[in-house]
Amino acid sequence: MANKIRVAIAGATGNTGSSIVNALVKSPELFEITALARPASVGKAELIEFSKQGVAVKAVELDGSIDTISGTLANMDVVISCLTLLQFKQEMNLIEASSKANVGRYIPSFWGPACEPRGVMMIREMKEDFFDRIKSLSLPYTIIDVGWWYQLTLPALSSGRFRPAVEEYSTTRIIGDGNVPWALTDNRDIGKFVSRIIADQKTLNKMVFAYGEVMTQSNAFDLLEKVSGETVPREFVTKEELQNVINQGRAKAAEEDIKDVTILPNIGMAEYRNVLGIRGDNNPEKARSFGYLDARDLYPDVEITTLESYIRHLVR
């Protein structure tokens, strides 16, 4: 039997990280999984539950020394980051340490919509800084983007049967005319794709676009009405409104020399909405033009959750 793929995951208890862990533990014959955690967090309930499923939990301070972090990563085949941009420095340290430890493949924390690398989204530009460092170190990598979560796609129902996961970060208003198709994904399906991608040599040093369905906002809102039996009020945000927020935010960032867009959430969300509903970057055709491989083509047997089944489960 071939050796197991040794995988270390930073940010294992978040939405994306837990999706990945939950998928990998279903194939114990293929994967040996380690969750990296701050020493103060190793007793978290989620990590204790992971350990019951065979996941090793290792304590490490990602803002500590590179030598210490790289020692924790010794003999790892794959390191997956599910850190947030609030942990920018820690991710850079993880990249440096992965290179020092001769990790076989590094998955940086992208996990978002397909997009032009620079000049469109400041959040994406921070992620491209990770990618630039990875390439400068000749660290083997795979970039994985996953479209826009179902969990952030739909508006609340007036009955209260459904509310978006985090309303201020959701696309609850129709962007433009609502007829731009974009890729959507149930965040619980992310791990299904990751388990295939990291075991596939064809994806090494490539970008991969993994998603569930492609749908317009209008179609998604129609589907919510159909399944729930409720009328969904439609509020709109125009291209001009978004561009005004973006222009003001970028001017402020330039004037105050702000590099960390996480302190400017309004511009971040305006740029997301522009990419999704105005520019139309986040669809498989555009993703291919940006250089992504299509995970639906690579792994047609992966069972994805449809948006309709997701809605039916929520409003039953």
Positions marked active-site: 127
Taking the C-alpha atoms of residue 91 and residue 303, their distance in angstroms, rounded to an integer, is: 31
Neighbours of 231 (CB within 10 A): 9
The three-state secondary structure class of 146 is: coil
Half-sphere exposure of 308 (CA within 13 A, CB side): 5
Distances (CA, A) of 5 to 22, 78, 103, 108, 236: 16, 7, 12, 18, 47
Taking the C-alpha atoms of residue 77 and residue 30, their distance in angstroms, rounded to an integer, is: 12
Half-sphere exposure of 88 (CA within 13 A, CB side): 16
Taking the C-alpha atoms of residue 187 and residue 107, their distance in angstroms, rounded to an integer, is: 17
β-sheet bridge partners, residue 215: 182
